[in-house]
């Protein structure tokens, strides 16, 4: 499903306009019914004033003649074999039948073509979107956790066009549309919904469902459809972490446990809780970031780096800064550091020069 249409009101605020969920066939059928209603009204007009019309065949106008006259008149065929002859009939044709004819043409022809054209444009737009949708990120669930994850991705340079949201709630789909992202309304445990979101070519899938059992099912479905995707899952209970990892999750974040630890730290030490909250809040104070080792830092210990090094990533494995295996930094290492938010972004610097001096 394409994103919901958006617009701006006179005050410059983003406005979400709900999209119709009715099928083109339903819209076409409803317009045919309207056209039949106009035809019925026209037939009744002629039947009531049938003495004001003259049939060149036998001079009389009956019910069948009325249906025939209404049909050829509304469709502008107009063979001329039945004509209004009295002043009243002619005035009715001028001021009532003519508007009915225009309405009939607009409803049956104009809007029908519009429906077909809109559907054609939608199909073409959807096809173009699917062709370019590769290495994208799918966010399952656009609640508080999902929105925070998306905001962090965007703040770190991820393009909105490469983020796709899946959520079973219409309100969440509307919110994602307002945020100018593609969104699919449906249950991500359904493989059909995942296929519509092009999960087979996705680079990463972030699962933020409200229930742990749903998170397991989504993870299993995603892993089956895309064995190479990086899957990050948020769960409520610590006991479900092993199950998520067995289901194919690459990383599992226990949201309730993390909040509980933060509450406990804040209770025991308000200062420590404040620091942890600062690290978790993007855009101000201190940030936790990942960056590559620069050329001038190769061969030095982590303590010699200007940033506060927390961990070193080598060959895909995370080492604590005090680990003897990373006592000396090597080319290709990545550093997990703490530094002021205003100086550098969280994400790795694209195109960083490792020989920078």
186 and 235 in a single domain? The answer is: yes
Higher pLDDT: 3 or 150? It is 150
Q: What is the mean pLDDT of residues 328-335?
A: 88
What is the spatial distance between Cα 312 and Cα 305, in angstroms, rounded to a whole number?
12
For residues 253 and 158, state if they share a domain: yes
pLDDT in tens, 55-66: 888 888 888 888
What local confidence, expressed as pLDDT, does residue 248 receive?
A: 92
pLDDT digits over 118-132, tens only? 666 666 766 666 677
CATH number of the domain enclosing 81: 1.10.287.70
DSSP 356: -
Residue for token pair 């107009």: 78
Percent of the chain beyond pLDDT 70? 78
H-run or E-run covering 316 = none
pLDDT confidence band for 231 (50 / 70 / 90): very high
Nearest Cα neighbor of 308 from 289, 330, 281, 331 is 289
Which tokens is 157 given? 């340079």
Quick check: is 229 in a domain? yes
Cβ atoms of residues 71 and 43 within 8 Å: no
Task: Verify that 143 and 231 share a domain, yes or no.
Answer: yes
**Each residue of 269-303: pLDDT tens digit?**
788 777 777 776 666 677 777 888 888 888 888 88
Is pLDDT above 60 for 13? Answer: no
Phi, psi of 180 (to 5 degrees): 65, 45
**What percent of the chain is modeled with pLDDT above 90?**
15
Residue 291: closest CA among 323, 326, 336: 336
Supply 304's token pair: 């010699």
Q: How far is the C-alpha of 307 from the C-alpha of 157, rounded, in Å? A: 21
Q: Do 236 and 304 sit in the same domain of this protein?
A: no
Quick one: average pLDDT of 32-53?
A: 88
- Tell me what the mean pLDDT of segment 152-168 comes to: 85
Q: CA-to-CA distance for 52 and 60, rounded, in angstroms? A: 10
Q: Which one-letter DSSP state was computed for residue 249?
A: -
Q: What was the pLDDT predicted at 18?
A: 41
Look at the chain and report how many structural domains it folds into: 3
What pLDDT does 351 receive?
Answer: 40
Domain containing residue 246: 137-259
pLDDT of 205: 94
Give the chain's mean pLDDT.
79
* CATH code (residue 344): 3.30.70.1450
The pLDDT value recorded for residue 228 is 92
């Amino acid at each position: 499903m394409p994103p919901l249409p958006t617009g701006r009101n006179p005050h410059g605020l983003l406005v979400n306009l709900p999209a119709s969920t009715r099928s083109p066939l339903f819209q076409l059928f409803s317009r045919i019914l309207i056209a039949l209603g106009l035809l019925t009204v026209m037939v009744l007009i002629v039947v009531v004033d049938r003495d004001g019309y003259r049939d060149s065949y036998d001079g009389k106008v009956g019910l069948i003649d009325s249906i025939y006259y209404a049909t050829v008149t509304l469709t502008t065929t107009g063979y001329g074999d039945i004509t209004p002859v009295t002043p009243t009939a002619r005035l009715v044709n001028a001021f009532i039948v003519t508007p009915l004819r225009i309405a009939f043409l607009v409803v049956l022809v104009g809007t029908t073509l519009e429906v077909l054209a809109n559907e054609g444009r939608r199909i073409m737009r959807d096809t173009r979107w699917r062709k370019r949708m590769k290495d994208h990120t799918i966010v399952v669930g656009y609640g508080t956790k999902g929105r925070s994850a998306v905001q962090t991705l965007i703040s770190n340079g991820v393009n909105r066009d490469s983020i796709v949201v899946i959520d079973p709630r219409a309100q969440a789909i509307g919110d994602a549309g307002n945020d100018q992202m593609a969104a699919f309304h449906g249950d991500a445990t359904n493989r059909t919904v995942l296929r519509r979101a092009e999960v087979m070519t996705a680079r990463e899938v972030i699962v933020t469902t409200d229930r742990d059992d749903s998170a397991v099912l989504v993870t299993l479905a995603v892993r089956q459809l895309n064995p190479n995707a990086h899957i990050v899952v948020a769960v409520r209970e610590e006991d479900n972490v092993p199950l998520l990892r067995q289901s194919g999750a690459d990383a599992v974040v226990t949201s309730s446990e993390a909040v509980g630890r933060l509450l406990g730290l804040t209770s025991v030490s308000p200062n420590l809780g404040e620091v942890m909250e600062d690290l978790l809040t993007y855009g101000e104070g201190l940030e936790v970031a990942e960056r590559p080792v620069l050329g001038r830092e190769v061969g030095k210990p982590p303590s010699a780096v200007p940033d506060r090094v927390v961990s070193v990533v080598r060959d895909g494995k995370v080492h604590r800064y005090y680990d003897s295996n990373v006592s000396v930094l090597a080319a290709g290492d990545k550093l997990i550091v703490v530094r002021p938010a205003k100086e550098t972004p969280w994400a790795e610097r694209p195109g960083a020069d490792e020989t920078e001096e």
